Amino acid sequence: MTISLNQTGKRFNYDWIFRRVTLTFSEGQRYAILGPNGSGKSTLLQVISGAIQHNEGTVTYSTPEKPIAPDAFFRYCSIAAPYLELIEEFTLTEIIDFHQQFKNFLPGITPAKAMQLVGLEKAAKKQIRNFSSGMKQRIKLALAILSDVPVLLLDEPCTNLDAAGIAVYQQLINEYGGNRLIIVSSNDEQEYFMCKEHIHIQDYK
């Protein structure tokens, strides 16, 4: 999977968040979008994901076999972000089952295995509304990283995690990142430790 941005820009009202972004994200590579809080890192990641529309330039998606229509890209990616909500009325088991109606887990990953990997196996029947913020973030990371898709998008993935949670995140990336295209929006090195390519959002102001 390849994602290409050509002279891409995004503005809100009359304020440009970024402009003239020309980048190619390639399969098997890991990229970090860096910059201070409020600089537009998350906005760029959402434009890449197709969740919000850009105002200038283009964003294209392709596999070696064919181009991918923008409105079909969601089938090829998973995302974890602080602003994405979980269904509070579901139990952990129910939310995993619901997620798998849209995206399968990687081969060999069962719901029980997913819970065990993030240390939540004892909370299988507990409603999400009763989880701590750190537990909720572990679920978001598990659902994203363990999904069988070629593109993984992570926006501040260690939000609300303590030291043990950060270790869980890093272990998931090391063991299950595979040869996927990974893009991380962050200003914390613990979150983008695996990224060799660094993109500074300030370069596109």
Q: Which domains are assigned to the chain?
A: 2-204 (3.40.50.300)
- Considering the chain, what percentage of its residues have pLDDT values greater than 90? 99
How confident is residue 129, by pLDDT bands cut at 50, 70 and 90? very high
Average pLDDT of every residue of the chain: 96
Q: Would you state the pLDDT for residue 1?
A: 93
Using CA atoms, how far residue 27 sits from 9, 23, 151, in Å, is 23, 13, 8
Q: What is the pLDDT of residues 30-69, one digit of tens each?
A: 999 999 999 999 999 999 999 999 999 999 999 989 999 9
Q: Would you state the pLDDT for residue 57?
A: 97
Q: Fill in the amino acid letter for 86.
A: L
* Closest-CA residue to 8 (of 25, 21, 23): 21
**Cα Rg of the chain (Å, integer):** 17
Give the DSSP H or E segment for 166.
helix 163-176
How confident is residue 156, by pLDDT bands cut at 50, 70 and 90? very high
Q: What is the pLDDT of residues 82-124, one digit of tens each?
A: 999 999 999 999 999 999 999 999 999 999 999 999 999 999 9
Question: Rounded to an integer, what distance in angstroms lies between the CA atom of residue 183 and that of residue 193?
Answer: 12
Q: What is the pLDDT of residues 5-30, one digit of tens each?
A: 999 999 999 999 999 999 999 999 99
Label each residue of 91-153 as H, E or C. Answer: EHHHHHHHHCCCCCECCCCCHHHHHHHCCCHHHCCCEHHHCCHHHHHHHHHHHHHCECCCEEE
Q: Name the pTM for this structure.
A: 0.96
